[in-house]
Amino acid sequence: MTVKWGLIGASTIARQFMIDAIRSQPDGEVVAVMSSSAERAGAYARENEISRHYGDLDALLGSDVDAVYISTTNELHLEQTLAAAKAGKHVLCEKPLALTSTDARRMVEACHAAGVVMGTNHHLRNAGAHRAMREAIRDGRIGRPLAARVFHAVYLPEHLQGWRITRPEAGGGVVLDITVHDADTLRFVLGDDPTQIAAVTQSAGMAAGGLEDGVMTAMTFSSGLIAQTHDSFTVKHAGTGFEIHGTEGSLIARDVMTQKPVGSVVLRTPKGEEELSFDREDLYARSLRQFHAAIRGEDQPSATGEDGVWSLAIAEAALEAARTGRTITIDPKLEARA
Ligand code: NDP
């Protein structure tokens, strides 16, 4: 069965990665795009060879699409997901799921009640590098993980210097943009959840309107592991990385906090250094493949709606920690479901 996708949002991320990812599936088709401007919808549909376009959400949801990919600005994800669930459409939503974890939980509940699949587009779980690190930890290759460090300070490309640095009401700021990804990647790779977070933010000259464009966090995880993250929109030459240090060895990954299947992972132990090999599949194509499997009832999305609640709860706690100068307890308030 073909999965007919409708795009909610005439966005950059859909144009750069997600339309191709859908089209790379043997059973995936992009049939429509919806924008808040009918004119933009038309132009976007033409540019990307999408046969139908809508300037209205109800029209898209009233059509024969099976699933929607939501990549509008962050304040719109809540209402669009609730409406899609009500219309019986599967939902793959961009991160952050919403502006608050309370709203994100409503989205998860609505999709669950409607019996549709919900996923969060945390692409980094799909990177071969992160899956290789997760496997190495599970296989005990670094012993007991003690500490992790995420380096995700980058320079926001000029074409993305819009709502992210000017519109708090749209969910701008580096914490909702990047820290959510670190949070999800740490949870995925470590197989562990954070319990507490401290943070400091900065406005280094790019973001306006009281928004932060740099942040460092420090977290404690359930196992006792401690982790630090550094995210920025203003750092041009740092490069990205991810390290996990255990009792018996360390995993040192470079250039892996990225949208492309690139980078390296080195395992360092008393025996020396070993470069781990991993697959180089496109991250977004893999996310789509797993989402299609979830629609068929064979698997879960690579990041579920609940994972999106977790990453947002962590980001929310980071913002509160920075605002108050206190260490904040992280609680996604997710009820266990049979
Ligand atoms: P864009 O700024 O490209 O698009 C967001 C919205 O802005 C669109 O839905 C569109 O509204 C509006 N818009 C776009 N172009 C114009 C224009 N020329 N004039 C007026 N409005 C315009 O955002 P991104 O693609 O960067 O991000 C979208 C979402 O995806 C966010 O939630 C973000 O966090 C997430 N994201 C996720 C990534 C990942 O790897 N998982 C990477 C990048 C982003 P309309 O649809 O109404 O036309």
In a domain, 334, yes or no: no
Mean pLDDT of the chain: 98
Task: Identify the CATH number of the domain in which residue 99 sits.
Answer: 3.40.50.720
Which numbered atom of ligand 1 lies nearest the CA of 8?
A: 46
> What tens digit of pLDDT does each residue of 128-145 get?
999 999 999 999 999 999
Domain span at residue 163? 127-280+312-329
Alpha helices by DSSP H, listed for the chain, are 12-13, 19-23, 38-47, 57-61, 77-86, 101-114, 128-138, 163-166, 174, 180-190, 283-295, 305-324
In a domain, 195, yes or no: yes
pTM: 0.98
**Is-contact 190 182, C-beta < 8 A?**
no
Number of independent structural domains in the chain? 2
Which numbered atom of ligand 1 lies nearest the CA of 121?
A: 41
**CA-nearest residue, atom 15 of ligand 1:** 11
Q: Is residue 318 domain-shared with residue 175, that is, in the same domain?
A: yes
Mean per-residue pLDDT for 110-133? Answer: 98
Q: Is the pLDDT of residue 338 over 70?
A: no
In a domain, 337, yes or no: no
Per-residue b or e along 197-214, where b marks 16 or more CB atoms closer than 10 Å to that residue's CB: bbbebebeebbeeebbbb
Q: Is residue 274 domain-shared with residue 133, that is, in the same domain?
A: yes
> Does 126 sit in the ligand 1 pocket, CB within 6 Å?
no
Mean per-residue pLDDT for 76-93? Answer: 98
DSSP string, 133-194: HHHHHHTTTTSSEEEEEEEEE-B--GGG-SHHHH-GGGT-SHIIIIIHHHHHHHHHHHT--E
In a domain, 161, yes or no: yes
> Does 162 sit in the ligand 1 pocket, CB within 6 Å?
yes
Q: Which of 46, 71, 81 to mutate to test the pocket of ligand 1 (most atoms within 8 A of CB)?
A: 71
Q: Is residue 31 domain-shared with residue 161, that is, in the same domain?
A: no
Instruction: Output the CA 92–ligand 1 centroid distance in Å.
Output: 15
Q: Is residue 177 domain-shared with residue 54, that is, in the same domain?
A: no
User: What confidence tier does 336 reach under pLDDT thresholds 50, 70, 90?
Assistant: confident
Q: Is residue 83 domain-shared with residue 108, that is, in the same domain?
A: yes
In a domain, 165, yes or no: yes
SS3 33: strand
Instruction: Output the CA 14–ligand 1 centroid distance in Å.
Output: 8
**CA-nearest residue, atom 19 of ligand 1:** 40
> What tens digit of pLDDT does each residue of 211-232 get?
999 999 999 999 999 999 999 9
In a domain, 335, yes or no: no
> Does 9 sit in the ligand 1 pocket, CB within 6 Å?
yes
In a domain, 336, yes or no: no
Task: Identify the CATH number of the domain in which residue 325 sits.
Answer: 3.30.360.10
